[in-house]
Amino acid sequence: MLKRKISPGILVYCFVISLFLGFATILCASTLNPMIHTGLNLEFVQQAGSHAKNAKSNNESTKNLTTSTGKTTVDVARHGNTQGKKVSLTFDDGPDPVTTPLILDILKKHNIKATFFMIGEKVKRYPEIAAMVVREGHGVGNHTYHHINLNKASEDKIINEIEWTQKSIKNATGVTPTLFRPPFGYYDDNALRALNKEKMKIILWSIDPLDYIQKRNTKIISEVTDKLKKGSIILFHDTSKNTAKYLDLIINDISNHNYQFDNLNEAHYSPIIVAQKDFTAKPAIIITPLLSDKKIKRSPLIQANKISPAAKTWKPKVNSPNQTKENADMNKLGIKEVKPEKHYLIELPQGKDLISTLVLIAKTKNIHYGKFEIVGTVKNATIGYYTQEKNEYIQKTVNQPTEIISCDGSIQEHNGNHIIRASISVSDSNNTIHRGRLFSGTIIINGEAYIQSFRSTSQGNQ
């Protein structure tokens, strides 16, 4: 038998390949667990459980999403019972005095019961439409009072949004909802804690045909039927003219696929663990060494923060003279430390200038620092567009009634004068969006303002 000699070059090549594969394995493992390659098990307590669990898009099955800590849970449904060919129709952002009745007529024609997730301020504005929904046998859910992004809100603000909406729906319909749909599908641990306290369940969706954007009926229908599954929860908007126009065709097409309709009675819930609030309150880093003290001392993280390897917690050191100078420089920039003080929900007076009304509220309530959000309708919306060439705002007036899509800003008192800075987006009758800085001349038709005041704790410029 002939024996073939293996050249040294091949041996070196094989050795390099094995090293590469071994390194790749470690790298993949450290990607899944970042603590592997650092040599430390670090738990940033101030961020524990703060990751957002955003609603995923179509065709995603329900998952048990859990935070890193906590004992209580909130039930979340992304689809209904998958045993039978049933789907659920849901409608967000109403009630609307024009399109909601049209949608109710179509549902009544097909003898279908749906669920309407209502915005609290719209329920207060159109209580008779909300009552009509319940009279016709449909379910109602809570969709916050101002349609806010929960990922950007405190727990207290979310609780207010939920409770104000609960009260509005109860007053209008006699029903207290137990179902909640977060605007945009976004929620974090602040929202979960609030919903746990309010004993509410989250309803998401598995199909979103983008009915508020799509213009063609074929596109909306295909977005639904192409992704149809057993237990699908379909998201519509009863504020959309497209939905009112094409819903009859959509229902017929779903029925032609031999599906029946269920009013979320068989929604499939999965529990999400809620991180406890006190777990996020301590600004410390807990360190559990996995390596020897000698190796830990060489860690860039340890060296950068001057952490003793034997220490269980670390606190920032006292400011050095350079840091004190930097803080003084920052104060010159007008940076202030503030703490939340009070919350106000104010019904805006009809026919008054919006900016002047906000100034009057700030003076009446003695608000030195604050932020606000506004919903409602206005006329003569006066919006400014900044031009860098001229270093000024070019103002434009929308000479018709418009719906406020978003309006938020700040309040600051300076030398006895209250300064209002706000950006606004409004939609006209052609669904054209106008956005920019808010200026005086914008007249309130109706609406409400949510204002949060702050108390300054800063030693900087006041």
- What are the pLDDT digits (tens) for 171-201? 999 999 999 999 999 999 999 999 999 999 9
- State the average pLDDT over residues 144-148: 95
In the numeric block, which tokens belong to residue 109? 């024609």
Q: Which residues are catalytic?
A: 92, 237
pLDDT at 270 over 50: yes
241-256 helix and 217-225 helix, angle to the nearest 10 degrees: 50
Higher pLDDT, residue 376 or 308 = 376
pTM for this predicted structure: 0.51
pLDDT at residue number 283: 37
Nearest-angstrom CA–CA distance, 460 and 458: 5
Q: Which of 19-28, 342-351, 387-396, 408-417 has the lowest mean pLDDT?
A: 19-28
pLDDT at residue number 8: 58
- State the average pLDDT over residues 140-154: 94
pLDDT at 280 over 70: no
pLDDT at 290 over 50: no
pLDDT at 388 over 50: yes
pLDDT at 344 over 80: yes
pLDDT at residue number 307: 41
pLDDT at residue number 19: 59
Nearest-angstrom CA–CA distance, 284 and 315: 6
For residue 100, count CB atoms less than 10 angstroms from its CB and return exposed for 0-12, middle for 13-18, buried for 19 or more.
Answer: buried
Nearest-angstrom CA–CA distance, 311 and 305: 12
CA 115 to chain CA centroid, nearest Å:
21
The predicted-structure confidence for 409-445, as pLDDT tens digits, reads as follows 999 988 888 999 999 999 888 878 898 999 999 999 9
In the numeric block, which tokens belong to residue 444? 């309130």
Name which of 267, 259, 254, 251 is nearest 226 in CA terms. 254
Cβ atoms of 161 and 123 closer than 8 Å: no
If you search the block for the tokens 């991180």, which residue do you land on? 275
Tally of helices (H runs) and strands (E runs) in the chain:
13, 19
- Domain assignments of the chain as residue spans, ordered by start: 72-274, 338-456
Higher pLDDT, residue 290 or 123 = 123
pLDDT over 90, % of the chain: 50
The predicted-structure confidence for 57-106, as pLDDT tens digits, reads as follows 333 333 333 333 345 789 999 988 888 899 999 999 999 999 999 999 99
β-pairing, 338-347 vs 443-456, is: antiparallel
If you search the block for the tokens 């978003």, which residue do you land on? 406
Residue spans of beta strands (DSSP E) within 103-157: 115-118, 139-142
pLDDT at 38 over 60: no
Q: What is the DSSP string of 35-86?
A: HHHHSEEEEEGGGTT----PPP-TTPPP---B-SS-SEEEEEEEE--SSSSE
For residue 154, count CB atoms less than 10 angstroms from its CB and return exposed for 0-12, middle for 13-18, buried for 19 or more.
Answer: middle
The confidence band for 277, taking pLDDT boundaries of 50, 70 and 90, is low
221 Cβ contact partners less than 8 Å away, ≥ 6 residues apart:
209, 246, 249, 250, 253
The confidence band for 322, taking pLDDT boundaries of 50, 70 and 90, is low
pLDDT at 29 over 50: no
CATH class label, 72-274:
alpha beta
Mean pLDDT of the chain: 77
pLDDT at residue number 66: 35
Q: Compute how many other C-beta atoms are within 10 angstroms of the C-beta atom of residue 249.
A: 14
CATH class label, 338-456:
alpha beta
Q: What is the DSSP string of 157-201?
A: HHHHHHHHHHHHHHHHHS----EE--GGG---HHHHHHHHHHT-E
pLDDT at 305 over 60: no
Q: Which of 139-143, 166-170, 382-386 has the lowest mean pLDDT?
A: 382-386
